Chains A and B, each alone.
Chain A
Amino acid sequence: MIRNRCPHYFTFAKKHFAVWVTLGLCLLIGEGILDEPCRLAAATDEPEEFHGPPPHPGYPDPFEIGYILFDTFSPNKQFGIIYPNRLLEESPDFIVDLKHSRILAVLETGEPYFEGKNHGDLAAHWAPNSSAAVIENSGKWEPIGLLLVELKDGKVILQTDLLDSLNKIFSPAIAKAQHSRVEDSAVGELDITRVKWKTGKSLQVEIKCEGSTNPKGFEEESSWYGELTAVWDVAQRKLVRHQLARVSFHAAGRKEQ
């Protein structure tokens, strides 16, 4: 059984008195509200468990003890994501069918996310009709993966890395400002600020992000900054619109242009 995030706080509580007392107070306050600490999701009517395939006979079940069910689900509550805890920290993330207890696909996000990963975070933005999701696997300076997952008839039919498409818009604009070659120009920091699904004639997802070339603010390096709004059409499998705004450029050692 996989549950939503549930830290082993009782172990820490034994070792640190102050933490123990604080948590105890929280328990006192929360006892009436939270019947079982690991089942926070029950109050919001969200799925709380996922049972993977049966384990190898005689061996531990990796999905039972090594994976965590991410707390963002498809609107129809059928699909979710599982990621490994520290026990299986180099193992892949999966997209799963909660209704039929099936693992559908490995999330192809490069470096998988795992519980407590340094500078890591996971976000899932589901389409209103549950037929697609944009999965954001965050890294220190930019997402490790920004993956569009498409589902049909309960199966994953396509996974597309959207990060590459976004970088292809940033690079020429940076190259132009820096008078450099496009292939040498890339954002050093990319921050996804909004993912919004649009339903109409076709399913589209609008991604807003901020890109900059000098995230550490080194004075001896030029700094380019821009905000991008890009719209991906799921049926056409490409970006159909994009706009760069609030572009600014500071050449190394010069004033803003």
Chain B
Amino acid sequence: MRLLLALLIISLECLSHAAEEKEGPIRLATAPSGEYAVDWTAPDGPPRVVSKPDGAVIAELKIPESEQSSGDHSMATPLPFISPDSNWVFVMNVDNDAPPPESFSRPSALFRRTRSSDGTIHFEAATPDRFDKAAWEFLDKELKLGRPDLPPDAKRVYSASFIDWSRDSARLLLSVGGGAWSPSKSEWVEAAAYTWYCYFNTRSGKFELTDRLRTADTRPERKSNTSDDAFALLAVVTNAESIGEEGPQSSPKERFDVVDKRLNDVYDKLIAKIEPAKRESIRNEQRAWLISRDTEAEIAALQMWSSGREATARILESKAISTEARVAELEKLLSGSQVK
């Protein structure tokens, strides 16, 4: 009987392994240069950098565990974001299924690609400790974020979420949070809901704030829970500034509102001017365009892995760009001979 049970367990183990092997690694991201990709085997393998031509493993991108972590991130999904010049990989672990405080935690690391004298590619961590912790400590020092009188058993839980790479790969824009959790009370003793922006400057190897970020970080709207987009979006940054191109970011809400009004004006003029027989066709075309515009905007925000206010801002940015193009089309139609 025992032998039978042992045989059964062994065969189950084999089948389980076989099935796991069938799953194979998932391609998480491909470097813009095309030289390498980041693969991952669910559910708990480390992300691996593989050579694009031959699939050989170049490196494992391991994220250091935090002190307060239970160490069980087996269900977390690593998300890599490779810089435009392909020299940097930011990886953050996302686990929305974990109970608090782990669900808030976004363990992350930044890796730099280096080349040894024999041409071999390596990836090394940009900071010795956890990247999210280092980012929080920088912001806490700059903006005095943390409560000085935390209860003795409180442990800080860090998160650093990817927002954007600057076009010159010199700056990584992050949204950083750092709530404090009391294990004895099983509750937050300092809110984990708020986040602040900072850059990691890949040229200086240091965290930094520009006027754009400092302005957004210190606005009172940063800590508002309002659903009013116009108010909340005042403190949102979605684009990382390249070196030498620093400056304020234009408001996506204002840009969209202006062009949306122009669209309504030109559309009304077109409907009034066009022969009645063609009106229904224009109306149908406009309805289809609106569906397409809104869908493209959602896709654009998803492709940047935006959530919350950043997603709202990116959706508005995308809608503004599409609407500007549509206004130009309708204006051409309005002035064209095909209307009459």
Residues of A within 8 A of B (CB): 8, 10-11, 13, 20-21, 24-25, 27-28, 31, 36-38, 52-53, 55-66, 86-92, 94, 103-106, 155-159
Give Cα distance in the complex from A58 to B305, angstroms.
Answer: 12
Provide the residues of chain B in CB contact with A89, threshold 8 Å. 96
**Min distance, Cβ A209 to any Cβ of chain B, angstroms:** 27
Structural contact, B82 and A58, CB atoms closer than 8 A: yes
What are 15 A-B interface contacts by the 8 Å CB criterion?
A10-B19, A21-B9, A24-B8, A27-B15, A31-B15, A56-B304, A58-B29, A59-B29, A59-B305, A62-B305, A91-B302, A103-B299, A105-B291, A106-B298, A155-B292
Given contacts A24-B8, A103-B299, A106-B294, contact A59 B81 (CB under 8 A): yes
- List B contacts of A88 (CB < 8 A): 302
Q: Which B residues from 83 to 135 make CB contacts under 8 A with A?
A: 83-84, 86, 94, 96-97
Q: What's the nearest-Cβ distance from chain A to residue B274, in Å?
A: 20
- Asked if A11 and B291 make an inter-chain contact with CB atoms under 8 angstroms apart, the answer reads no
A58 to B162, CA, bound (A): 13
Known: A37-B19, A55-B303, A60-B305. A87 touches B94 (CB 8 A): yes
Q: B142 at interface (Cβ–Cβ under 8 A)? A: no
At the interface with chain A, which of B54-62, B71-79, B192-200, B224-232? Answer: B71-79
List residues of chain B with CB within 8 A of the CB of A61. Answer: 29
The residue from A52, A64, A155 contacting B288, defined by CB atoms under 8 A apart:
A155
If the complex has contacts A59-B304, A60-B80, A87-B77, are A24 and B12 also in contact, measured as CB distance less than 8 A? yes
Complex CA distance for A38 and B302, rounded to whole angstroms: 25
Q: Known contacts being A27-B19, A36-B22, is A60 close to B28, with CB within 8 Å? A: yes
B205 touches A (CB below 8 Å): no
Residues B303 and A53 in contact, CB atoms below 8 Å apart: yes
Verify if B30 is at the interface (C-beta below 8 Å from A): yes
Q: Given the interface contacts A20-B12, A58-B83, A155-B288, does A11 sit within 8 Å of B74 by beta carbon?
A: yes
Q: Is B28's CB under 8 angstroms from A58's CB?
A: no
Q: Which residue of B lies closest to A89 (CB)?
A: B96
B287 with A158: CB separation less than 8 A: yes
User: Which residues on the B side are within 8 Å of A56 (C-beta)?
Assistant: 303-304
Q: Report the separation of the CA atoms of residues A10 and B32 in the bound assembly, to the nearest whole angstrom.
A: 34
Least CB separation from A67: chain B residue? B302
Specify which of B43, B80, B94, B304 is in contact with A8 (CB 8 Å cutoff). Answer: B43
Closest Cβ neighbor of B44 among chain A residues: A11
Q: Considering the chains assembled together, what is the distance between the CA atoms of A105 and B80 in angstroms?
A: 27
- Measured between beta carbons, the chain B residues less than 8 angstroms from A91 are 298, 302
Tell me how far the C-beta of B36 lies from the nearest C-beta in chain A, rounded to whole angstroms. 11
Contacts A24-B8, A62-B305, A158-B287; A106 near B295 (Cβ below 8 A): yes
Contact of A21 among B12, B30, B82, B307 (CB under 8 A): B12
Which residues on A sit within 8 Å (CB–CB) of B284?
A: 157
Among A58, A59, A105, chain B packs the most CB atoms within 10 A around the CB of A58
- Interface membership of B11, Cβ < 8 A: yes
A88 shortest CB reach to chain B, Å: 7
Contacts A8-B43, A58-B82, A106-B294; A24 near B29 (Cβ below 8 A): no
Which A residues touch B299, using CB under 8 A? Answer: 52-53, 103
Give CA–CA (A10, B41) in the complex, Å.
13
Instruction: Give Cα A13–Cα B75 distance, bound, in whole angstroms.
Output: 13
Contact B77 A65 (CB under 8 A): yes
A59 to B81, CA, bound (A): 5
Residues of A contacting B97 with CB < 8 Å? 86
The one of A62, A86, A104, A158 that contacts B302, using a Cβ cutoff of 8 Å: A62
The docked-state distance in angstroms from the alpha carbon of A8 to that of B74 is: 11
Min Cβ gap A151→B in Å is 11
CA distance A53 to B8 in the complex (A): 45
Closest-by-CB residue of B relative to A102 is B295
> Does B174 have its Cβ within 8 Å of any Cβ on chain A?
no
Nearest 3 CB-CB pairings of A with B: A24-B12, A58-B82, A57-B32
Task: Give every chain A residue within 8 A of B288 (Cβ-Cβ).
Answer: 155-157
Query: Contact at A62–B303, with CB atoms within 8 Å?
Result: yes
Query: A157 contacts which chain B residues (CB < 8 A)?
Result: 284, 287-288, 291
Give a binary string over B5-32; 1 marks a CB under 8 Å from any A CB, 0 the rest. Answer: 0001101100110011011001111111
Chain A residue nearest to B81 (CB atoms) is: A59
Q: Are B96 and A28 in contact, CB atoms less than 8 angstroms apart?
A: no
